A and B are shown apart, each in its own frame.
Chain A
């Protein structure tokens, strides 16, 4: 159907052999990605196989990794090019209308996956009954330096994972304090200090009694990284000592500079929202006489002073709250059914798959429908001809 053009590169890029090769590669990647989820978790496996350009294999016992397969992103990109190249070569006729729609839809699908990969942000909001929350939390850690001097409102400065990983002096704009990051651990094991443990740089706070040992980061969905860092607040030309911060240390640690109290803590990265959500009631029903969950739902109050909005929303399974470009889903619960955890997803491309899928479905229906009609007609004609033929033979 696709006609060769005078450009050999376009012909090669748009060849059907390439399509089949890419589809087969994609199958292999999807298969490996599925198997890898047992060890790496979904996030980890997808990062290795699908959202990468090259799949690396670490040669055991050496420090080398060798590329073994193109990654999902590369295959997807070439597949999109292959589609476009074929596309321009499929003559646009009524008979090909279905194929046109299918392939245009698929191109849009690949684009949508790239948009999701680049822009989708997953966070969580955990609210206890009666609590009001105006921030969402991501998976990555951040160092929060909170100025709690004002009893009404805290002034909070955050350093994200990127800043922590660079391990140097980070200024906190708008504050006299800067933070020197001595060392950052993406994941670590924290134990009570034993005699004979290696010396620790920590000079202040609860961290002086703790030994930190680095661990490889985990990516399984149900595991959490226990991040830790040695940080040294600097202000007005003096040091306030080296502190250990970690998201597993519960005790608040603070220092005072020029009459202002600053609290140091490591926590999940927060994004503050211009509106707040209050959990009025979390319900968790089970079927009578079993522990099979029948329904989870959160009755929340959405309060947005800037838009003068103040209303109640019921979030339940298959029924998220879509607001301000974000979608809030009922994801989990805890604390004896008084804590509700909402999954918060922000994806500007969330509508693309809907459009592309509708196009592909319509295209397939049209294409196979017309083909089926043609083939049935041909059979009818053949069957009508057959008796005449046999009659002729007998004669």
Chain B
């Protein structure tokens, strides 16, 4: 195998651009984990389901392709809210296994529903900028991925603004630090949690649509890899750390792309997982995590 620095830098560029999708999913996982200290394993599935409903509304109502990027996130937000009610809202607070298991059940359900509705065959998703390709010296940049990245940055900025500049964000952060104390201060924690789930869902819906647009197809096979990569990003970034999730998203995308170049597609993920183990051994709190959030 021979490759020079140009190949390496090229694959780094591709990886970082694609990593913005991982960053969005990781951010969603982090938001939910931060709010409840519980894991929603159905999260990536709900993102893909949102993208699917966006795509289906195009074919059913004959809408312009751009509408998929509006309907998809909205539907993901709705699914997120439903997930909150069926998997988390009525569970005893001290029990971590039951909601986790319920969200696994929801993952199965969403996955199977998609397979059932589409007969398991992938559906093509409208590309955003099919012909755009820029050259930067010797390196090429895919226009649609650049758009994905720009879009992700806007979304991240909006989330940051919501969290740190609004009353809702204050409530969310308070609930994540001390749910009981927040309740005593008059913060309606169930409503706050619902809002967090909707927000994370909308983010995931955008991520799902962007992923589908840059891959070109939507397939139920996307849910499990997206779930696993999102979780890895969350852990490497540090549980509950928002900037950690964003940085780790880009880092994992870049690392994955390098492993793809060096070791090929069959072995790529082995090294991504080994990277995670390296983090667990050497830095169990992740890049920006604190021990408080390590649960």
Query: A and B from one assembly?
Result: no
Taking beta carbons and an 8 Å cutoff, which residues of A are in contact with B? none
